Structure 1
Amino acid sequence: MRYRGNPPTLELSDAFYARYWERGPVHVRNAAPGRFKELFDTAAFEELLDFGALRSGFVTVIHQGRPVAAELLCREPQDVGGVEHDDLVDPQALTPYREQGATIILACLQLYSRQVAGLAQRLSDAMRCDVEAHAFHTPASTHGLAPHFDGEPGFLLQLEGSKHWTLHPPLTDGLPIQGGHPPIDWQPDETLTQRFTVEPGDLLYLPRGWVHYADTTEQHSLHITFQALLNLERDVILDRVEREVDEAVRKEDVLPVVPEDGPSALAAHVRVISAKLAAWADELEGSGPE
């Protein structure tokens, strides 16, 4: 796992997949000394917030480890082109929380940063799934999110400041596909705990399901996490089956009411669909998953 500039690219080797993928975190020191800031920095972060056009879904405030209700962050309804918007984030509403050490998250940064979008797209092409980028800004000497786990793997690029990360193995053998928090009575096994101090230019891989939380040092921290939205095997298969059914069977066709004709009509369709799915399986074996 390494970072390359020109254009910014995150490369995942066969060795990475064989040794670390969904098995454990990886901390790469000095992956890009001074280069991550070319992607994004605090000035760009503040400019996006101050512009005042971000909707509540793109801005999350984490205060005392938990998200602040979105309605507390929005300005008075604004008329834009004849359409009233009541979910535009008010930059001034963020100030009291930020003064109390809140973390601000800008979600889906790839939608409004050309450089970040390019890196996300190249990672998406390599992993064959969608990738989202989220920026996290945390003041000095504070905590971020409470202990939690994600349903997606993340690749964290530390842009500014440092963070102390604490990671615990997944709570269950089956890795989750949705994020969550450990039970209230959760007692981690300290012998399995991993800790990292991530510095500017460092890269950290966070497997899905690993419980994690972080604290900043005497400086603020800014990092971007690229989350891979993995394709579920079940969904990929169901999508393909549905596509083949749509091609083989017209929506207007009804099952014959004559008893002896009904099963045979279905059997013909099933054979056609089965043949196409078998051919797809051969393609997958020869070229890898879609």
Structure 2
Amino acid sequence: MPSNVHEALVELIRQQPSFAVQLLTDIAGVAVPTHTLACEGSPDLSQAAPVEQRADTVVTLQADGVPVFGIITEVQLRVDPDKHYRWPSYVVALRNRLRCPVLLLVISTSDRVARWAARPIDLGAGSAIVPISIGPSVIPTITDPAVARAGPELALLSAVAHPADRGVLDALFSTFNPDIDRSLLYADLVRTVLPEAARNYLEHLMSTTTWRYQSDFARKYFDQGLAEGEAKGKAEGKAEDILAVLSARGITVADDARARITNCDNPDQLSTWLIKAVTATAVSDVLD
């Protein structure tokens, strides 16, 4: 079962495929072809073989509608020797599909895992596949709010990599604005992946008088300091959160499912559904 951290980092690239390009060019220093579009491709890399193969994400760079470069992105949180046998098949399958160069990008929250992932994969007879691996030591500590707002995906990744740096958390907090695309989803994502101390610090920022005055967004999505007597309102707010996340992901909610969500008065159950909604592809993924 993928962890919340794994799913959250994968979701960043699903939401913004050009983020994979940014990681390659700005952090790894890898040049990519001139292109007009970066779009998500099918992660199914199965071929005419009995074994299903699925990458975390696939991003295709196109120039005038023609694929010019493929990026396979894998979020790797632990050392897994089996991946050194599976990853080459991903590269070959995507290269065969797109008929253009392909690169494997690995993102990790551990430098030890990142170093392991960066090892060339020997295919024999002098052939090798060399993954581009990114870990915390090369992920920038983004403390400038303007920089964070210009690239909320990298700001969130920076917070995951450097959760003890309050400057990074302050910068990430500045990106939580309902007027910014994907901000609501990212705000929900970050609550599922940060360690308790970092999460509590962000929630403290969101419960300040200044933030309350600036936007109802914080009260609705982040305020964890509700008194016991406000439990009903808290449940209603979480139900609205779930529906908002599903709407943002383009998932249609049937009337019976909507009623089940809005009529639920169990905050713990609603919290579980909210976490599932962040990475769901259908309502059944949330309520089952």
Please classify the TM superposition score into its range, dividing by the shorter chain length.
under 0.3
| Greater strand content | 1
- How does the TM-score come out when normalised to structure 2? 0.23
- How does the TM-score come out when normalised to structure 1? 0.22
| Greater helix content | 2
The structure whose RCO (Cα within 8 Å, separation 6+) is larger is 1
